[in-house]
C-alpha cells in the first residue's frame, strides 16, 4: 500500500535485462520488476528508458505513485558506465528521485556478493569483467566491452560459434551438430549470417551461448573447445584476484552456473556463493551504508595484473 517515508531503489542494469528493487526504511521489499537491456552501449537515453520502465513497474507493484519518487533514494548499477562520457551524459538527464548515484554493474554485483566487505567477483554474462574491493579500493580487470574484450562472456562464446559455423559452411572445418544448428538459424546461408552480423549487438551474439553450452555438455567437440576456452578466460580473471591477495571470490552473471563445472577443481573449490545480487549491492549504496571506493590508479600494479 506504499509508504510515506523514504524509500530506496537499487537497480541492476545489464546487457540483457534491467532489474529494479524498491525497499522501505526497514529493508522490507516493496516492489521488484524487470525490463530490457540497460547498458550505455545501446545509448544513455535508451538505457535510461529501461531503468525507468523497470522502476515504474516496481513502483506500481509497491503501490507508489510518481510523486513518491521525490522521497526515493536511488543507486543505479549500470553496464558500460566506464565508457567515455557515459556517466556525464546520465547525470545530465533529469531524474525524479531525491538522490541518484551511478555505479558500475560490476561494483554493484561485488558489493552484493560480499555484503560490502573486501572480495572480488567475476561476471560471466552477456559480457565479462572482474571487479574487486580491497581496503576501500576498487580493482577492475578487463571488461572493456565486446568484441575487443569480454573474453569468456556469452557474447564472446556466440562470436566464436558463428565464426566456426561459417568455416564449416565452407568445408574448412568439421560440421558438428552444434554448427549445423547455428547455420540453421541463418537458413544455412552464410550471407544471411553476414547481413545479421552487420547489425548484431552483444546480446544477439550471447543468445547463441546456451546452445553452445548445451551441445558442449553432450560432447560436441567444437562446443567443448569453445566452452573450455571461455572457462580458461574466466579462470584467468579469478587467478589475478588471488594474486592480489583477495580470498573471497564469487562467480556471478547469467552464465555463472553453467560455466562453473568447466573451471579447474581448485578454482571451483575457492568460489563462495554470493551473499546477494547486484540490486542488493546497489541498495547498500542508496542507503548510504557504503562509501564508494576509490579507483585502482596504481599504474605500475595495474600493468602487472590487468589483462
Check if 7-115+275-292 and 117-274 are the same fold.
Answer: yes
Percent of the chain past pLDDT 90, that is, above it, reads 82
pLDDT level of residue 298 (50, 70, 90 thresholds): very low
Under DSSP, is residue 9 helix (H, G, I), strand (E, B) or coil? strand
**Of 132 and 4, more confident:** 132
pLDDT, tens only, 208-224: 999 999 999 999 999 99
Looking up cell 565452407 gives 170
Domain boundaries, the chain: 7-115+275-292, 117-274
Closest CA relative to residue 8, chosen from 279, 256, 292, 303? 279
Strand arrangement, sheet containing 119-124? 249-252, 119-124, 128-134, 137-141, 294-295
User: What is the reported pLDDT for 83?
Assistant: 86
pLDDT, tens only, 11-25: 999 888 999 999 999
Mean pLDDT of the chain: 92
pLDDT level of residue 303 (50, 70, 90 thresholds): very low
Which grid coordinates are listed for 58?
516496481
User: What is the reported pLDDT for 294?
Assistant: 66
List residues bridging with 7 in a β-sheet: 72
pLDDT level of residue 42 (50, 70, 90 thresholds): confident
pLDDT level of residue 145 (50, 70, 90 thresholds): confident
User: What is the reported pLDDT for 307?
Assistant: 33
The architecture (CATH level 2) of 117-274 comes to: 2-Layer Sandwich (3.30)
**Phi/psi of residue 18, nearest 5 degrees:** -120, 130
pLDDT level of residue 3 (50, 70, 90 thresholds): low
User: What is the reported pLDDT for 18?
Assistant: 96
User: What is the reported pLDDT for 211?
Assistant: 98
pLDDT level of residue 300 (50, 70, 90 thresholds): very low
Q: Are 15 and 79 in contact, with CB atoms under 8 Å apart? A: yes
Going by the DSSP 8-state scheme, the letter that residue 271 receives in this structure is B
* The pLDDT of residue 299 is above 60: no
The set of residues, in sequence order, having a beta carbon less than 8 Å from that of 48 and lying 6+ positions away, is: 38, 90, 93
Looking up cell 572482474 gives 130
Number of neighbouring beta carbons within 10 Å of residue 192: 13
pLDDT, tens only, 76-114: 999 888 888 998 999 899 999 999 999 998 999 999 999
CATH class of 7-115+275-292: alpha beta
Please give the average per-residue pLDDT across 148-161, as a whole number: 97
What are the DSSP E strand ranges found in 135-279?
137-141, 249-252
* The pLDDT of residue 302 is above 70: no
pTM, 2 dp: 0.84
Amino acid at each position: 500500500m506504499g509508504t510515506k517515508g523514504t524509500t530506496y531503489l537499487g537497480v541492476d542494469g545489464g546487457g540483457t535485462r534491467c532489474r529494479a528493487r524498491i525497499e522501505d526504511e526497514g529493508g522490507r521489499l516493496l516492489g521488484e520488476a524487470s525490463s530490457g537491456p540497460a547498458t550505455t552501449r545501446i545509448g544513455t537515453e535508451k538505457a535510461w528508458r529501461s531503468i525507468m520502465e523497470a522502476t515504474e513497474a516496481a513502483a506500481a507493484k509497491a503501490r507508489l505513485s510518481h510523486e513518491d519518487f521525490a522521497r526515493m533514494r536511488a543507486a543505479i548499477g549500470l553496464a558500460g558506465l566506464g565508457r567515455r562520457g557515459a556517466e556525464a551524459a546520465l547525470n545530465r538527464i533529469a531524474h525524479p528521485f531525491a538522490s541518484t548515484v551511478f555505479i558500475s554493474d560490476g561494483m554493484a554485483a561485488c558489493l552484493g556478493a560480499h555484503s560490502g566487505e573486501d572480495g572480488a567477483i567475476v561476471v560471466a554474462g552477456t559480457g565479462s569483467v572482474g571487479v574487486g574491493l580491497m581496503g576501500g579500493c576498487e580493482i577492475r580487470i578487463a571488461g572493456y566491452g565486446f568484441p575487443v574484450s569480454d573474453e569468456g562472456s556469452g557474447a564472446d562464446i556466440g562470436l566464436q560459434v558463428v565464426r566456426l559455423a561459417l568455416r564449416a559452411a565452407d568445408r574448412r572445418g568439421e560440421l558438428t551438430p552444434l554448427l549445423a544448428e547455428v547455420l540453421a538459424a541463418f537458413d544455412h546461408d552464410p550471407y544471411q549470417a553476414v547481413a545479421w552480423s552487420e547489425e548484431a549487438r552483444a546480446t544477439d551474439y550471447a543468445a547463441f551461448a546456451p546452445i553452445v553450452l548445451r551441445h558442449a555438455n553432450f560432447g560436441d567437440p567444437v562446443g567443448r573447445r569453445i566452452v573450455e576456452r571461455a572457462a580458461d578466460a574466466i579462470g584467468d580473471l579469478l587467478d589475478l584476484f588471488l594474486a592480489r591477495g583477495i580470498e573471497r571470490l564469487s562467480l556471478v552473471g547469467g552464465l555463472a552456473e553453467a560455466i562453473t563445472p568447466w573451471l579447474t577443481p581448485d578454482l571451483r573449490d575457492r568460489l563462495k556463493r554470493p551473499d546477494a545480487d547486484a540490486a542488493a549491492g546497489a541498495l547498500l549504496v542508496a542507503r548510504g551504508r557504503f562509501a564508494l571506493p576509490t579507483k585502482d590508479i596504481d599504474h605500475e600494479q595495474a600493468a602487472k595484473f590487468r589483462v
